[in-house]
Structures are given as C-alpha cells and as structure tokens.
Amino acid sequence: MNVAVHIFNVLIFFLGESLSEPSNKKFPENFKFGVATAAYQIEGGWADDGKGVSVWDQFAHTYPDRVANGDNGDVACDSYHRYLEDVEMLANMGVNHYRFSLSWPRILPTGYTNQINEAGVTYYKNLISALKENGIEPFITLYHGDLPQTLQDIGGWPNPLLADIFAEFARTAFSLFGDDVKNWTTINEPKQTCITGYGLGNSAPGAPASGIGEYDCMHTLLRAHAKAYHIYDEEFRATQNGRVSIVLDTAWFEPASDSEDDIEAAERALQFEHGWCAHPVYHPDGNYPQVMIDRIAERSQKEGFSKSRLPEFSAEEVDYIRGTFDFLSLNTYTTNLAKWTTDHEIGTPGYYADLSVSTYQDPSWNGSAWIKVVPWGLRKLLNWIDQTYDHPEIVITENGYADDGRLDDPDRINYYAEYLTAVLESIYEDGLNVTAYTAWSLMDNFEWTSGYTIKFGLYQVDFENPNRTRTIKSSADYYKNVIANKCLVDTCEE
C-alpha cells in the first residue's frame, strides 16, 4: 500500500465514514502538479537591497489595526534570504511547477523602468536557476497585490495610465527572465484587488470609492493585462515559446432552491464574480457580461449619475482584450449558495448592491473559516467555465485549505483527496481539458488582512523563530505521493 493511501485510510478512521472514496482513475501522463506562493506573502526583506515600498508595506505599517494582530510581511517566511530552503521543499515533493510572483518594487523600486534594481533581478534569476536545476518549471505571476507605492501616489489602478506603466514592467520581466520561463500570468485575482482595495477599501491600498473605484480599477487592469499579452505575443513568443494568461478567482454559486429566482441569482453571481473579469478576455463576444452592463447602468441612472458607473470599452478595446490568453487560469476554494433578493435600495453605490444576491454556506458542510469542503461545486464550476468560454484549457492555479497550522493535518488531506477527485471526474466523465493543479500553498505565510492567524501551507513555518524554520506536514507527504504516482488510491486504472 502506498503512503498516500495509508494516510487516507487513517484519515477515514479519525473522521468517520463521511468521506467519499477518492477516484481510482490515474491522472493523465501530461497532467502537471504544482504549488503556489506570492511575493509579499513569503519574501520578507521588505526594505533590503534597494527594494521600493509597496502598497502592502505602506498599508500594514500605517494601519496595523486593519490586519489581524497587527501582523505584516516585513519578514514573513524570509524567502528572500531562504529561497534555497523553499526549492529544497519543492524538490522533496517532486512538483512539476512552482507558481510564484515577482515583487514589482523589488525589480523597479520607483515603479517605472527608469531604475532597475539589480539585486532584485539577481534574486529572481537565482531562484529560477535553482528551480530549473531541480527539474521544476517556474510559473511566474507578474502582479500579485504589491503595487509600488509610488504608483498608488498617482491614483493606483483606477488611474488609466497604469495600464501602460504595467505593460513596461511586463516587457522588462519578459526580457530579463523569459528565456527560462515558459508559463506567465499577468495579474492575480484582479477582482480582489479592485473590490477590497478600491471599492470597500478594507485591504491595501485602503482607498475606498464604493461603486466607482472597483469598476475603474478593473477597467485599467484588463487593459494592462491585454497590453502585456500583446507585448509577449509580438515581441517574445517567437523566441521564448512561452504562454500567457490572467489569473481569475471565483467560488461556485449553487442556487439555494430550484426556484427560477434562485437559479437566476446564482448565474448572476457567477457573472459578477467571475464573468466581470473573464468575459472580456475569454468569452468569444468579449466585453463585460450583459447582466452587469444592464444592471449597473439602470442603477446608476436611478442614483442620479449621468452615465453608468461601469466604464465602457470601445469596440476597438473589446477586440484588443478579447482572446488575450493561451490557457484559462482559475483560483477556486469553495462553494456558496445563492438566493435571489429584492434589489438593494437605491442609495450608496456599491458592487454588492449592484449584484443584489444573498450568498451563504450550508451549515452542514464541513470545513473551516470560509472554506467549506464541497468538491461537487468544483466540478460544476469547471463545467460552467468549459461551456461558457468555449472549452478552453483550464489550469487550476490555486486551491487549498486553511487550518491552524498543525503538522498532522487530516482535514487538508481530505480536502485535496476530494477536490482532486472532482478534477479527475471533470476530465474523464465530463471530457474537460483540465491540465494542471496548483495547491495553495507551499508553506504557511502572511494571509493578507488575516495576518498569520490562518495557515494554508503544506509546510509549517515557525514565525516565532528568527530562522523561520520549515517543517513538513502530513499533507505534504500525501501530496508528494499523489504527484509521484499520479494516483489517489493504491491501484489506479490507467
């Protein structure tokens, strides 16, 4: 019996018979497994060797009361100094790829290309080299939340000028690292950046402009992504032979009942939560989802605005953004129930008022915090994406489970077993083109406004120890064996 199956059997003993048996299908030979991190969440070295200040540096230092326990990423996992330990952990698990992000202000301290920080460039070149030496493909995200503060000082992402500034950063990164990197994503979870940073303002940079800021932010981010894609396509693809996408996140939204109202509410939630960023890039028609265009225009008019709060793309912009992907990247963690509600009263504008859907989770679902273990939701989401966006290749770029950081973590093992089963079912029973799975996260890290209070890692990090000691968890052993055998059980069907 392989170790993965032994661990799963022990898990069933401790958690009872509620667990479903994992699939006995073997993953396709070309299926890839990896893990993910992000620069601000692990690197530390926040002011080392010429790095500029990011919006998260500024936010965590200025508003410590807005982050759990006043935590920040000044040191985090100290990966800036301990990246070789990270590579050793990756090699031990046998992952095919490692998804990490570049710190924009570590490479361009001013945010602009007038000053390139050679120490930052050397750090990433050394990391990439160490990965390649261990047979691990670097999978780089250009932007994962840490905008240079200098660019926030001119308005941040709602300022349309940032599309061109980001495009120059992307060109610089492709030039510096592209010979050794074949998988790129431009922007991670633009929805989260826009809603929490510029709509609600409860996350960095903490610039609330509810009902306006989040839409202006997304408008710029989508243009920024498209510019970066076209730069790669026109200037680098022929020689570097890589691929480019944008990373979008969503939960699955299940109708709370079989009523027409709740079915409509669930679809509307998917269009607002995923389609808002996905439709312009992945849908054959391009542009924002029609339900968003119509609802926000109607509500804006009732609120007294002279035009819709949702910016409008020109026909040329729709064409320019549409199709700017080589695969579809998906971050997803859980499922919500969606219930139709009477439209929010006209008053203070806001994204959630425009959405006007009540979402919640079934109290009978197992899980922790906001992550409930609902693997059938993942399968439904993958099918919805396949049907909505004309059968793209789907790469799962984040999926994982949060707990308190314990070394013996059967709940995380269960989560992986059940969600990977859903992936296998989507491949073999539904015929979907899902080609890779990326676990969040390699190790416990700084989880944004939750600080270090929740842990997603396959490795534990001792944040009280100046050495930031890493210790392997049971889930890492489980994942290691899944990767080695491409199998969730003792004997898999070919």
Q: What is the reported pLDDT for 312?
A: 98
3-state secondary structure (DSSP) of residue 296: helix
User: What six digits make up the tokens of 227?
Assistant: 């510019």
User: What six digits make up the tokens of 428?
Assistant: 């073999």
Average pLDDT over residues 251-255: 98
pLDDT tens string 401-460: 999 999 999 999 999 999 999 999 999 999 999 999 999 999 999 999 999 999 999 999
3-state secondary structure (DSSP) of residue 60: helix
Q: What is the reported pLDDT for 416?
A: 98
Q: If you ran DSSP here, which 8-state letter would residue 301 be given?
A: H
Catalytic residue selected from 43, 85, 189, 317: 189
Q: What is the reported pLDDT for 345?
A: 84
Helix, strand counts (H, E) of the chain: 19, 15
Q: Which CATH fold topology does 3-9+28-485 show?
A: TIM Barrel (3.20.20)
d(C-alpha 397, C-alpha 328), whole Å: 9
pLDDT tens string 67-98: 999 999 999 999 999 999 999 999 999 999 99
Domain positions in the chain are 3-9+28-485
Q: What is the reported pLDDT for 343?
A: 77
Peptide bond into 441 cis (omega under 30): yes
The C-alpha torsion from 479 through 391 and 37 to 205, rounded to 10°, is -150
d(C-alpha 425, C-alpha 261), whole Å: 29
d(C-alpha 367, C-alpha 360), whole Å: 14
Predicted confidence (pLDDT) at residue 362 exceeds the cutoff of 70: yes
What is the average pLDDT score of the chain?
Answer: 95
Between residues 155 and 343, which one has the greater pLDDT?
155
- pTM to 2 decimal places: 0.95
Report yes or no: 382 and 426 within 8 Å, Cβ to Cβ: yes
Peptide bond into 205 cis (omega under 30): yes
Q: What percent of the chain has pLDDT over 90?
A: 93
- Residue 378 has a CB neighbour count (10 Å cut-off) of 26
pLDDT tens string 36-79: 999 999 999 999 999 999 999 999 999 999 999 999 999 999 99
Catalytic residue selected from 398, 418, 425, 447: 398
3-state secondary structure (DSSP) of residue 78: coil
Average pLDDT over residues 260-281: 98
pLDDT tens string 140-199: 999 999 999 999 999 999 999 999 999 999 999 999 999 999 999 999 999 999 999 999
Average pLDDT over residues 353-370: 95
Q: What is the reported pLDDT for 2?
A: 44
Contact partners, residue 376, CB within 8 Å, separation at least 6:
335, 422
189: annotated active-site residue: yes
- Residue 390 has a CB neighbour count (10 Å cut-off) of 9
pLDDT bucket at 342, cuts 50 / 70 / 90: confident
pLDDT tens string 10-34: 333 333 334 578 999 999 999 999 9
Q: What is the reported pLDDT for 475?
A: 98
Predicted confidence (pLDDT) at residue 253 exceeds the cutoff of 60: yes
* Best CA proximity match to 65, nearest among 202, 205, 210, 208: 202
pLDDT tens string 283-307: 999 999 999 999 999 999 999 999 9
CA angle 60–63–66, rounded 5-degree value: 90
398: annotated active-site residue: yes
Q: What is the reported pLDDT for 369?
A: 81
Contact partners, residue 124, CB within 8 Å, separation at least 6:
102, 107, 176, 177
Contact partners, residue 96, CB within 8 Å, separation at least 6:
32, 33, 34, 136, 137, 436, 483
